[in-house]
A and B are shown apart, each in its own frame.
Chain A
Amino acid sequence: MLVARQEPTTIDDATLARSAMSGDAGAHTAIWDRYHPVVRRILRRTMGPGSEVEDHVQEVFLRFYRNSALLRNPSALRSFLFGIALRVAASELRSRRIRGWLRLTPDGTLDDYVGPHDAAPEQADADAREAVKRLYAILDRLDTECRLAFVLHHVEGLELLEIAAALGVSLATVKRGLTRVSARVWASAQGDRLLIEYLDAGEPASLEKLR
Protein backbone atom coordinates (compact mmCIF):
# COMPACT_ATOMS: atom_id res chain seq x y z
CA MET A 1 0.00 0.00 0.00
CA LEU A 2 2.42 2.56 -1.27
CA VAL A 3 -0.09 5.37 -1.26
CA ALA A 4 -1.08 4.71 2.31
CA ARG A 5 2.52 5.05 3.48
CA GLN A 6 3.27 8.26 1.62
CA GLU A 7 1.64 11.63 1.39
CA PRO A 8 -0.28 11.30 -1.92
CA THR A 9 0.64 14.81 -3.00
CA THR A 10 4.32 13.86 -3.08
CA ILE A 11 3.81 10.83 -5.30
CA ASP A 12 4.33 11.31 -9.00
CA ASP A 13 1.70 10.27 -11.53
CA ALA A 14 3.58 7.20 -12.75
CA THR A 15 3.92 5.73 -9.25
CA LEU A 16 0.32 6.54 -8.48
CA ALA A 17 -0.85 4.91 -11.70
CA ARG A 18 1.25 1.76 -11.10
CA SER A 19 -0.23 1.44 -7.60
CA ALA A 20 -3.72 1.84 -9.01
CA MET A 21 -2.99 -0.76 -11.68
CA SER A 22 -1.90 -3.20 -8.98
CA GLY A 23 -5.29 -2.76 -7.32
CA ASP A 24 -4.36 -0.32 -4.57
CA ALA A 25 -7.68 1.27 -3.57
CA GLY A 26 -5.81 4.12 -1.84
CA ALA A 27 -4.17 4.99 -5.14
CA HIS A 28 -7.53 5.34 -6.80
CA THR A 29 -8.70 7.70 -4.10
CA ALA A 30 -5.49 9.69 -4.44
CA ILE A 31 -6.00 9.90 -8.18
CA TRP A 32 -9.51 11.16 -7.54
CA ASP A 33 -8.18 13.81 -5.15
CA ARG A 34 -5.65 14.95 -7.71
CA TYR A 35 -7.72 14.92 -10.84
CA HIS A 36 -11.39 15.30 -10.02
CA PRO A 37 -11.34 19.09 -10.49
CA VAL A 38 -9.79 18.71 -13.94
CA VAL A 39 -12.24 15.97 -14.91
CA ARG A 40 -15.24 17.91 -13.63
CA ARG A 41 -14.08 21.03 -15.45
CA ILE A 42 -13.61 19.29 -18.78
CA LEU A 43 -16.99 17.62 -18.46
CA ARG A 44 -18.66 20.89 -17.54
CA ARG A 45 -17.08 22.68 -20.48
CA THR A 46 -17.78 20.00 -23.06
CA MET A 47 -21.34 19.40 -21.93
CA GLY A 48 -22.19 23.04 -21.36
CA PRO A 49 -24.13 25.07 -18.85
CA GLY A 50 -27.15 23.50 -17.30
CA SER A 51 -25.71 19.99 -17.42
CA GLU A 52 -25.46 17.83 -14.33
CA VAL A 53 -21.98 16.34 -14.46
CA GLU A 54 -21.46 14.67 -11.08
CA ASP A 55 -22.63 11.25 -12.26
CA HIS A 56 -20.29 11.51 -15.21
CA VAL A 57 -17.36 12.49 -12.99
CA GLN A 58 -17.97 9.31 -11.02
CA GLU A 59 -18.27 7.37 -14.26
CA VAL A 60 -14.86 8.60 -15.43
CA PHE A 61 -13.10 7.32 -12.31
CA LEU A 62 -15.04 4.06 -12.30
CA ARG A 63 -14.03 3.48 -15.92
CA PHE A 64 -10.45 4.21 -14.94
CA TYR A 65 -10.74 1.62 -12.16
CA ARG A 66 -12.04 -0.98 -14.62
CA ASN A 67 -9.61 -0.17 -17.41
CA SER A 68 -6.47 0.94 -15.61
CA ALA A 69 -4.71 -2.16 -16.96
CA LEU A 70 -4.95 -0.57 -20.40
CA LEU A 71 -2.72 2.33 -19.34
CA ARG A 72 0.54 1.51 -21.14
CA ASN A 73 2.50 4.53 -20.00
CA PRO A 74 1.82 5.18 -16.30
CA SER A 75 3.30 8.67 -16.52
CA ALA A 76 0.52 9.55 -19.01
CA LEU A 77 -2.09 9.22 -16.26
CA ARG A 78 -3.46 12.70 -16.82
CA SER A 79 -3.90 12.18 -20.56
CA PHE A 80 -5.50 8.79 -19.94
CA LEU A 81 -8.07 10.29 -17.58
CA PHE A 82 -8.57 13.18 -19.99
CA GLY A 83 -9.33 10.69 -22.76
CA ILE A 84 -11.82 8.80 -20.60
CA ALA A 85 -13.53 12.07 -19.66
CA LEU A 86 -13.87 13.00 -23.33
CA ARG A 87 -15.34 9.61 -24.18
CA VAL A 88 -17.82 9.87 -21.31
CA ALA A 89 -18.76 13.37 -22.46
CA ALA A 90 -19.11 12.25 -26.08
CA SER A 91 -21.28 9.35 -25.02
CA GLU A 92 -23.54 11.62 -22.98
CA LEU A 93 -23.80 14.16 -25.80
CA ARG A 94 -24.85 11.43 -28.24
CA SER A 95 -27.41 10.12 -25.73
CA ARG A 96 -28.68 13.62 -25.24
CA ARG A 97 -29.11 14.02 -28.97
CA ILE A 98 -31.04 10.74 -29.14
CA ARG A 99 -33.21 11.87 -26.24
CA GLY A 100 -33.84 15.04 -28.20
CA TRP A 101 -34.91 13.02 -31.25
CA LEU A 102 -37.17 10.94 -29.08
CA ARG A 103 -38.46 14.08 -27.41
CA LEU A 104 -37.83 12.68 -23.97
CA THR A 105 -37.09 16.26 -23.07
CA PRO A 106 -37.91 19.23 -25.27
CA ASP A 107 -34.41 19.63 -26.68
CA GLY A 108 -32.67 16.55 -25.38
CA THR A 109 -31.13 18.45 -22.50
CA LEU A 110 -31.96 18.39 -18.87
CA ASP A 111 -33.64 21.33 -17.28
CA ASP A 112 -31.28 24.12 -16.52
CA TYR A 113 -29.10 23.20 -13.64
CA VAL A 114 -26.89 25.85 -12.17
CA GLY A 115 -24.71 24.61 -9.39
CA PRO A 116 -23.91 26.88 -6.51
CA HIS A 117 -20.39 27.47 -7.79
CA ASP A 118 -21.10 26.90 -11.42
CA ALA A 119 -21.41 30.33 -12.84
CA ALA A 120 -19.15 32.42 -10.69
CA PRO A 121 -21.99 34.81 -10.01
CA GLU A 122 -19.72 37.39 -8.48
CA GLN A 123 -18.03 37.74 -11.89
CA ALA A 124 -20.46 36.93 -14.62
CA ASP A 125 -23.43 39.11 -15.19
CA ALA A 126 -26.71 37.86 -16.60
CA ASP A 127 -25.84 38.86 -20.17
CA ALA A 128 -22.58 36.96 -20.14
CA ARG A 129 -24.30 33.88 -18.79
CA GLU A 130 -26.97 34.17 -21.41
CA ALA A 131 -24.32 34.54 -24.12
CA VAL A 132 -22.57 31.36 -23.00
CA LYS A 133 -25.88 29.57 -22.95
CA ARG A 134 -26.56 30.66 -26.51
CA LEU A 135 -23.08 29.64 -27.61
CA TYR A 136 -23.72 26.14 -26.29
CA ALA A 137 -27.12 26.10 -27.96
CA ILE A 138 -25.23 26.55 -31.23
CA LEU A 139 -22.77 23.82 -30.22
CA ASP A 140 -25.72 21.51 -29.48
CA ARG A 141 -26.47 21.52 -33.21
CA LEU A 142 -22.98 20.27 -34.11
CA ASP A 143 -21.93 16.68 -34.23
CA THR A 144 -20.19 15.44 -31.11
CA GLU A 145 -16.62 15.32 -32.44
CA CYS A 146 -16.83 18.85 -33.88
CA ARG A 147 -18.26 20.15 -30.64
CA LEU A 148 -15.48 18.56 -28.62
CA ALA A 149 -12.82 19.96 -30.93
CA PHE A 150 -14.34 23.45 -30.71
CA VAL A 151 -14.57 23.36 -26.91
CA LEU A 152 -11.07 21.97 -26.48
CA HIS A 153 -9.64 24.66 -28.72
CA HIS A 154 -11.65 27.79 -27.99
CA VAL A 155 -12.81 27.15 -24.42
CA GLU A 156 -10.19 24.86 -22.94
CA GLY A 157 -7.40 26.56 -24.90
CA LEU A 158 -5.62 23.40 -26.03
CA GLU A 159 -3.20 23.38 -28.94
CA LEU A 160 -4.18 21.50 -32.09
CA LEU A 161 -1.68 18.71 -31.43
CA GLU A 162 -3.08 18.17 -27.94
CA ILE A 163 -6.60 18.04 -29.34
CA ALA A 164 -5.56 15.52 -31.97
CA ALA A 165 -4.00 13.33 -29.27
CA ALA A 166 -7.01 13.67 -26.98
CA LEU A 167 -9.51 12.81 -29.70
CA GLY A 168 -7.33 10.14 -31.25
CA VAL A 169 -7.36 11.69 -34.72
CA SER A 170 -4.74 13.21 -36.99
CA LEU A 171 -3.64 16.81 -36.81
CA ALA A 172 -4.97 17.39 -40.33
CA THR A 173 -8.37 16.08 -39.30
CA VAL A 174 -8.46 18.45 -36.34
CA LYS A 175 -7.46 21.40 -38.55
CA ARG A 176 -10.09 20.61 -41.15
CA GLY A 177 -12.75 19.99 -38.54
CA LEU A 178 -12.00 23.15 -36.60
CA THR A 179 -12.01 25.30 -39.72
CA ARG A 180 -15.38 23.93 -40.69
CA VAL A 181 -16.93 24.10 -37.24
CA SER A 182 -15.56 27.56 -36.48
CA ALA A 183 -17.09 28.88 -39.68
CA ARG A 184 -20.39 27.31 -38.77
CA VAL A 185 -20.40 28.63 -35.19
CA TRP A 186 -19.37 32.01 -36.51
CA ALA A 187 -22.20 32.07 -39.03
CA SER A 188 -24.72 31.03 -36.39
CA ALA A 189 -23.43 33.63 -33.95
CA GLN A 190 -23.98 36.33 -36.58
CA GLY A 191 -27.69 35.73 -36.24
CA ASP A 192 -27.64 36.38 -32.51
CA ARG A 193 -27.55 40.01 -31.43
CA LEU A 194 -26.21 39.20 -27.99
CA LEU A 195 -23.38 37.06 -29.30
CA ILE A 196 -22.49 39.70 -31.89
CA GLU A 197 -22.07 42.14 -29.07
CA TYR A 198 -19.45 39.92 -27.51
CA LEU A 199 -17.79 39.25 -30.83
CA ASP A 200 -17.71 42.90 -31.74
CA ALA A 201 -14.64 45.07 -31.49
CA GLY A 202 -15.58 46.69 -28.27
CA GLU A 203 -15.71 44.04 -25.62
CA PRO A 204 -18.34 44.73 -23.00
CA ALA A 205 -17.15 45.80 -19.63
CA SER A 206 -18.64 42.69 -18.12
CA LEU A 207 -16.29 40.59 -20.21
CA GLU A 208 -13.29 42.58 -19.15
CA LYS A 209 -14.23 41.74 -15.63
CA LEU A 210 -14.11 38.05 -16.41
CA ARG A 211 -10.43 38.13 -17.27
Chain B
Amino acid sequence: MTRWPISSPDDRDAALDTLGRMARAQLTGSVSPQEEAEARRRLRTQLAREPHRESARRRAKVWIGAAAVAAAAAIIVVRSPWLRRPALTFDVDLPVVSERDYIHVPITAPSGHVAFSDGSKLTLSPGCRGRIVALHPDGAEIGLEDGRASLEVVHRPGTRWSVAAGPFAIQVTGTAFDVRWSGARETFEVDLHSGSVTIRGPLAASGIELGAGQKLIADLRASQLRIERLTPNTQAPTSWPTRTRPP
Protein backbone atom coordinates (compact mmCIF):
# COMPACT_ATOMS: atom_id res chain seq x y z
CA MET B 1 0.00 0.00 0.00
CA THR B 2 1.32 3.44 -0.87
CA ARG B 3 1.57 6.26 1.63
CA TRP B 4 0.90 9.91 0.86
CA PRO B 5 2.90 12.00 0.20
CA ILE B 6 5.03 9.89 -2.14
CA SER B 7 8.67 10.31 -1.21
CA SER B 8 10.63 7.99 -3.50
CA PRO B 9 10.50 6.50 -7.00
CA ASP B 10 9.76 3.12 -5.45
CA ASP B 11 6.72 4.55 -3.67
CA ARG B 12 5.65 6.20 -6.89
CA ASP B 13 6.00 2.92 -8.80
CA ALA B 14 4.02 1.14 -6.12
CA ALA B 15 1.26 3.71 -6.47
CA LEU B 16 1.27 3.34 -10.23
CA ASP B 17 1.16 -0.42 -9.77
CA THR B 18 -2.09 0.14 -7.91
CA LEU B 19 -3.56 1.77 -10.99
CA GLY B 20 -2.03 -0.97 -13.12
CA ARG B 21 -3.66 -3.69 -11.04
CA MET B 22 -6.97 -1.95 -11.46
CA ALA B 23 -6.51 -1.87 -15.22
CA ARG B 24 -5.41 -5.50 -15.18
CA ALA B 25 -8.58 -6.50 -13.35
CA GLN B 26 -10.78 -4.65 -15.80
CA LEU B 27 -9.03 -5.42 -19.06
CA THR B 28 -9.12 -9.19 -18.97
CA GLY B 29 -9.68 -9.63 -22.66
CA SER B 30 -12.03 -12.52 -22.07
CA VAL B 31 -14.83 -13.10 -24.55
CA SER B 32 -17.96 -15.19 -24.52
CA PRO B 33 -17.80 -18.79 -25.78
CA GLN B 34 -19.88 -17.76 -28.77
CA GLU B 35 -17.49 -14.95 -29.66
CA GLU B 36 -14.56 -17.26 -29.13
CA ALA B 37 -16.06 -19.87 -31.47
CA GLU B 38 -16.79 -17.21 -34.06
CA ALA B 39 -13.23 -15.87 -33.86
CA ARG B 40 -11.84 -19.39 -34.23
CA ARG B 41 -14.02 -20.05 -37.28
CA ARG B 42 -12.96 -16.74 -38.77
CA LEU B 43 -9.29 -17.54 -38.32
CA ARG B 44 -9.68 -20.96 -39.95
CA THR B 45 -11.40 -19.33 -42.91
CA GLN B 46 -8.63 -16.77 -43.24
CA LEU B 47 -5.91 -19.40 -42.92
CA ALA B 48 -7.58 -21.41 -45.68
CA ARG B 49 -7.40 -18.34 -47.92
CA GLU B 50 -3.81 -17.48 -47.05
CA PRO B 51 -2.09 -19.61 -49.74
CA HIS B 52 -4.12 -17.82 -52.44
CA ARG B 53 -3.41 -14.46 -50.84
CA GLU B 54 0.26 -15.31 -50.66
CA SER B 55 0.43 -16.09 -54.37
CA ALA B 56 -1.55 -12.92 -55.11
CA ARG B 57 0.92 -10.95 -52.98
CA ARG B 58 3.84 -12.51 -54.87
CA ARG B 59 2.22 -11.66 -58.20
CA ALA B 60 1.57 -8.12 -57.03
CA LYS B 61 5.21 -7.79 -55.94
CA VAL B 62 6.37 -9.02 -59.34
CA TRP B 63 4.12 -6.54 -61.11
CA ILE B 64 5.12 -3.67 -58.85
CA GLY B 65 8.78 -4.57 -59.37
CA ALA B 66 8.32 -4.75 -63.14
CA ALA B 67 6.47 -1.43 -63.16
CA ALA B 68 9.23 0.18 -61.09
CA VAL B 69 11.91 -1.15 -63.44
CA ALA B 70 9.93 0.06 -66.47
CA ALA B 71 9.44 3.49 -64.90
CA ALA B 72 13.13 3.75 -64.05
CA ALA B 73 14.06 2.70 -67.60
CA ALA B 74 11.65 5.27 -69.05
CA ILE B 75 13.16 8.02 -66.90
CA ILE B 76 16.67 7.00 -67.96
CA VAL B 77 15.67 7.01 -71.63
CA VAL B 78 13.94 10.38 -71.39
CA ARG B 79 16.69 12.06 -69.43
CA SER B 80 19.67 10.51 -71.13
CA PRO B 81 21.58 13.28 -72.91
CA TRP B 82 22.80 10.90 -75.61
CA LEU B 83 19.23 9.89 -76.39
CA ARG B 84 17.91 13.43 -76.51
CA ARG B 85 17.66 15.07 -79.89
CA PRO B 86 20.33 17.70 -80.34
CA ALA B 87 19.43 21.37 -80.50
CA LEU B 88 19.24 23.00 -83.92
CA THR B 89 22.31 24.57 -85.41
CA PHE B 90 22.53 27.40 -87.93
CA ASP B 91 24.82 28.66 -90.63
CA VAL B 92 25.00 32.22 -91.95
CA ASP B 93 25.71 33.40 -95.46
CA LEU B 94 27.50 36.58 -96.29
CA PRO B 95 26.74 39.44 -95.97
CA VAL B 96 25.31 38.41 -92.58
CA VAL B 97 27.82 39.27 -89.91
CA SER B 98 27.61 36.86 -87.02
CA GLU B 99 29.36 37.29 -83.70
CA ARG B 100 28.32 34.31 -81.60
CA ASP B 101 24.54 34.73 -81.32
CA TYR B 102 24.45 38.31 -82.64
CA ILE B 103 23.59 38.72 -86.33
CA HIS B 104 23.28 41.80 -88.52
CA VAL B 105 23.36 42.82 -92.16
CA PRO B 106 25.15 46.06 -93.12
CA ILE B 107 22.83 48.71 -94.50
CA THR B 108 24.77 48.83 -97.74
CA ALA B 109 24.69 45.06 -98.33
CA PRO B 110 22.00 42.93 -99.96
CA SER B 111 19.79 40.65 -97.85
CA GLY B 112 21.47 37.99 -95.77
CA HIS B 113 20.37 34.49 -94.86
CA VAL B 114 20.52 32.21 -91.84
CA ALA B 115 19.92 28.49 -92.46
CA PHE B 116 18.81 26.28 -89.60
CA SER B 117 19.58 22.58 -89.47
CA ASP B 118 15.88 21.60 -89.64
CA GLY B 119 15.48 23.39 -92.96
CA SER B 120 13.90 26.55 -91.58
CA LYS B 121 15.23 29.82 -93.02
CA LEU B 122 15.63 33.35 -91.77
CA THR B 123 16.22 36.20 -94.19
CA LEU B 124 17.50 39.53 -92.93
CA SER B 125 17.01 42.71 -94.94
CA PRO B 126 19.80 45.31 -95.20
CA GLY B 127 20.29 47.12 -91.88
CA CYS B 128 18.50 44.38 -89.91
CA ARG B 129 20.05 43.22 -86.69
CA GLY B 130 19.06 40.69 -84.11
CA ARG B 131 20.03 37.67 -82.07
CA ILE B 132 19.59 33.90 -82.11
CA VAL B 133 18.58 33.89 -78.46
CA ALA B 134 18.21 30.14 -77.99
CA LEU B 135 18.30 26.94 -80.00
CA HIS B 136 16.12 23.93 -79.10
CA PRO B 137 15.69 20.53 -80.73
CA ASP B 138 12.28 21.71 -81.98
CA GLY B 139 12.97 25.29 -82.89
CA ALA B 140 14.68 28.51 -81.94
CA GLU B 141 14.06 31.84 -80.28
CA ILE B 142 14.98 34.79 -82.43
CA GLY B 143 15.26 38.33 -81.22
CA LEU B 144 14.80 41.10 -83.82
CA GLU B 145 16.36 44.31 -82.57
CA ASP B 146 15.71 46.43 -85.62
CA GLY B 147 14.84 46.06 -89.26
CA ARG B 148 12.96 43.60 -91.41
CA ALA B 149 13.27 39.82 -91.39
CA SER B 150 11.46 36.94 -93.05
CA LEU B 151 11.13 33.57 -91.43
CA GLU B 152 10.10 30.33 -93.11
CA VAL B 153 9.55 27.61 -90.54
CA VAL B 154 9.40 24.00 -91.65
CA HIS B 155 6.31 22.65 -89.96
CA ARG B 156 6.76 19.53 -87.86
CA PRO B 157 4.72 18.26 -84.89
CA GLY B 158 5.83 20.02 -81.73
CA THR B 159 7.82 22.79 -83.42
CA ARG B 160 8.66 25.61 -81.05
CA TRP B 161 9.70 28.82 -82.76
CA SER B 162 9.31 32.33 -81.54
CA VAL B 163 10.37 35.77 -82.66
CA ALA B 164 10.65 38.69 -80.27
CA ALA B 165 10.60 42.08 -81.95
CA GLY B 166 10.90 44.98 -79.54
CA PRO B 167 8.06 44.54 -77.03
CA PHE B 168 6.19 42.10 -79.34
CA ALA B 169 6.42 38.33 -79.35
CA ILE B 170 5.36 36.03 -82.19
CA GLN B 171 4.65 32.38 -81.49
CA VAL B 172 5.19 30.33 -84.61
CA THR B 173 4.16 26.81 -85.55
CA GLY B 174 4.76 26.26 -89.24
CA THR B 175 4.63 29.34 -91.36
CA ALA B 176 6.32 31.90 -93.55
CA PHE B 177 6.18 35.56 -92.66
CA ASP B 178 8.03 38.83 -92.73
CA VAL B 179 8.52 40.82 -89.57
CA ARG B 180 9.75 44.37 -89.21
CA TRP B 181 10.57 46.30 -86.07
CA SER B 182 11.76 49.87 -85.95
CA GLY B 183 12.96 50.92 -82.56
CA ALA B 184 13.35 54.53 -83.73
CA ARG B 185 9.75 54.83 -84.97
CA GLU B 186 8.35 52.20 -82.59
CA THR B 187 6.47 50.45 -85.36
CA PHE B 188 5.94 46.74 -85.77
CA GLU B 189 4.69 44.93 -88.85
CA VAL B 190 4.03 41.31 -89.69
CA ASP B 191 3.13 40.03 -93.15
CA LEU B 192 1.90 36.46 -92.88
CA HIS B 193 2.22 34.51 -96.12
CA SER B 194 1.24 31.05 -94.88
CA GLY B 195 0.26 29.25 -91.67
CA SER B 196 -0.67 31.15 -88.56
CA VAL B 197 1.05 32.96 -85.73
CA THR B 198 0.05 34.40 -82.38
CA ILE B 199 1.32 37.88 -81.61
CA ARG B 200 1.54 39.32 -78.12
CA GLY B 201 2.67 42.78 -77.22
CA PRO B 202 1.72 46.19 -75.80
CA LEU B 203 -1.42 46.57 -77.93
CA ALA B 204 -2.16 42.84 -77.97
CA ALA B 205 -1.71 41.75 -74.39
CA SER B 206 -4.05 38.75 -74.66
CA GLY B 207 -2.60 37.71 -78.03
CA ILE B 208 -3.80 38.18 -81.58
CA GLU B 209 -4.09 35.23 -83.93
CA LEU B 210 -2.97 36.17 -87.41
CA GLY B 211 -3.95 34.01 -90.40
CA ALA B 212 -2.38 33.52 -93.81
CA GLY B 213 -2.77 36.55 -96.08
CA GLN B 214 -3.06 39.02 -93.21
CA LYS B 215 -0.86 41.90 -92.21
CA LEU B 216 -0.57 43.36 -88.74
CA ILE B 217 0.65 46.90 -88.22
CA ALA B 218 1.25 48.34 -84.78
CA ASP B 219 2.27 51.92 -84.10
CA LEU B 220 3.15 52.30 -80.47
CA ARG B 221 3.49 56.09 -80.52
CA ALA B 222 0.00 56.46 -81.97
CA SER B 223 -1.26 53.52 -79.88
CA GLN B 224 -2.73 52.02 -83.03
CA LEU B 225 -2.91 48.42 -84.13
CA ARG B 226 -4.61 47.29 -87.26
CA ILE B 227 -4.90 44.16 -89.31
CA GLU B 228 -5.14 44.38 -93.08
CA ARG B 229 -5.35 41.98 -95.95
CA LEU B 230 -2.01 41.48 -97.63
CA THR B 231 -2.00 43.27 -100.99
CA PRO B 232 -0.70 41.34 -104.00
CA ASN B 233 2.24 43.63 -104.30
CA THR B 234 3.31 43.03 -100.73
CA GLN B 235 6.80 41.79 -100.84
CA ALA B 236 7.02 38.03 -100.49
CA PRO B 237 9.76 36.52 -98.40
CA THR B 238 13.07 37.15 -99.91
CA SER B 239 13.93 34.33 -102.25
CA TRP B 240 16.25 31.79 -100.79
CA PRO B 241 19.50 31.39 -102.59
CA THR B 242 20.67 27.99 -103.67
CA ARG B 243 23.60 27.15 -101.53
CA THR B 244 25.59 24.21 -100.39
CA ARG B 245 25.72 23.92 -96.66
CA PRO B 246 29.09 23.09 -95.19
CA PRO B 247 29.35 19.57 -93.74
Contact = CB atoms under 8 A, between A and B. Distances in A.
Given A37-B30, A65-B50, A186-B16, A32 B24 contact: no
A177 to B, nearest CB: 14
B29 A132 contact: no
Contact of B15 (A40, A153, A199): A199
Interface string A117-130: 11110011000110
Given A62-B50, A203-B1, A154 B19 contact: yes
A7 interface: no
A132 B47 contact: no
Contacts of A189: 16, 19
A164 interface: no
A119 B3 CA distance: 28
Question: For the complex, would chain A's binding face be called helix, strand, loop or mixed by DSSP majority?
Answer: helix
B75 interface: no
A29 interface: yes
B27 A29 contact: no
Contacts, number: 146
Interface in A173-191: 179, 182-183, 185-186, 189
Contacts of A62: 43, 46-47, 50
Nearest to A186: B12
A207 interface: yes
Contacts of A186: 6, 12, 15-16
A78 interface: no
Given A45-B23, A66-B50, A189-B19, A120 B13 contact: no
B24 A157 contact: yes
Interface string A140-170: 0000000000010111110000000000000
B17 to A, nearest CB: 6
B28 interface: yes
A179 B9 contact: yes
B27 A198 contact: no
B42 interface: yes
B136 interface: no
B12 to A, nearest CB: 5
Contact of A37 (B15, B18, B26, B29): B29
A62 B57 CA distance: 14
Interface residues of B, number: 38
B39 A58 contact: yes
Contacts of B167: none
Tier of interface size on chain A: 35 or more
Contact of A120 (B15, B26, B44): B26
A182 B23 contact: no
A25 B39 CA distance: 16
B82 interface: no
B184 interface: no
Interface stretch (A8-16, A49-57, A89-97, A104-112): A49-57
Given A41-B29, A43-B29, A210-B22, A33 B40 contact: yes
Q: Which 6 A-B pairs give the minimum distances between C-beta atoms?
A: A154-B20, A41-B29, A44-B29, A40-B29, A210-B25, A155-B20
28 contacts: A28-B43, A29-B43, A37-B30, A41-B29, A41-B30, A44-B29, A45-B23, A61-B47, A65-B47, A65-B50, A116-B32, A116-B35, A118-B26, A132-B23, A153-B20, A154-B13, A155-B20, A157-B24, A183-B12, A185-B16, A195-B19, A198-B19, A198-B22, A199-B4, A199-B15, A200-B4, A201-B1, A210-B25
Given A128-B26, A210-B21, 11 more contacts: A32-B40, A42-B29, A61-B47, A62-B43, A128-B22, A135-B22, A182-B16, A198-B22, A199-B16, A207-B22, A211-B25
